Amino acid sequence: MRITVAAVQAAPVYLNLAASLAKAETLIGQAAAQGAQLVVFPETWLPGYPAWLDCCRDVNLWDSAPVKQVYRRLAENSVVVPGPETEALAAAARAHGVVLNMSVHERVLVGPGRGTLYNSMLTFGPDGALLHHHRKLMPTYTERLVWGQGDGRSLHAVDTPIGRVGGLICWEHWMPQARHVLHTSGEDIHVAAWPQVKEMNLVASRHYAFEGRCFVVACGAIMHARDLPAELEPAGALRDNPDALVLNGGSVIIGPDGAILAGPVYDVETILTAEIDLARIPEEQMAMDVTGHYARPDVFGPTGPH
């Protein structure tokens, strides 16, 4: 089966959920017009990756009024699942007949108390059905100031008309157990959502494709210093250069042998596309298949010689 996949490398309207959603709907349509059957967005694209955790001064100070104000704005502009934003995303997927993978800040409103925020990935089918809902297992370093921990119930690929699609978020790609569980679920196409696909993130994405014998769509965002929250002071040279890039994209599409098929593209907004052939997957499994002849359950299984 030959299909076209797209990585949307763009900036949301930071901390503005309604405006970012409207931009997403436009970009989904543009990707579909380019023939895309799978459309992928970067990590927490709605309403923007919290790069201020690393790029602004004093964000870790206890009881900081400016930081609390930014967190409040982030919570107010986060996505409820299900909710009006997921209904709009479902409608966009259905209108354009695409599989849509969107990463969001998720705000939980059900259950006891007031819940928390999660770094979440949502996959919609071309009929608008929400097929998959994954929360990042372990927020990375400063991210723990804003997100709770996900669980492992969503570590699996899902069936779609274009093959089995799975995904991980950012540094989950450095978690061997998470990778292997997804490999075992039989991914054809893997979504690697990043804030930006810098060198080591590209290494992780190519390694994932090679190890899992699957196609990888690694997607990064664009962000300028001027988009950092006004309540906070940018660190270093960013303070005097509003046009400086905080996140520079790097989106890339990778084959099941680890070879780059399209990209990486840096510094500009773009919709990166590539045609992929799922028949390549069994061809590449001949050399290595970590869930097949390389699995060695006699060694690594529950009854193997540990």
- HEC letters along the chain: CEEEEEEEECCCCCCCHHHHHHHHHHHHHHHHHCCCCEEECCCCCECCCCCHHHHECCCCCCCCHHHHHHHHHHHHCCECCCCHHHHHHHHHHHHHCCEEEEEEEEECCCCCCCCCEEEEEEEECCCCCEEEEEECCCCCHHHHHCCCCCCHHHCCCEEECCEEEEEEEHHHHHCHHHHHHHHHCCCCEEEEECCCCCHHHHHHHHHHHHHHCCEEEEECCEEEHHHCCCCCCECHHHHHCCCCEEEEEEEEEECCCCCEEEEEEECCCEEEEEEEECCHHHHHHCCCCCCCCCCCHHHHCCCCCC
Active-site choice (43, 106, 172, 284): 43
Does 76 qualify as catalytic in the annotation?
no
Cis peptide before 84 (omega within 30 of 0): no
What are the Cα distances from residue 258, in Å, to 88, 145, 211, 215, 280?
35, 34, 8, 8, 12
Residues 170, 191 contacting (CB under 8 angstroms): no
Catalytic residues: 43
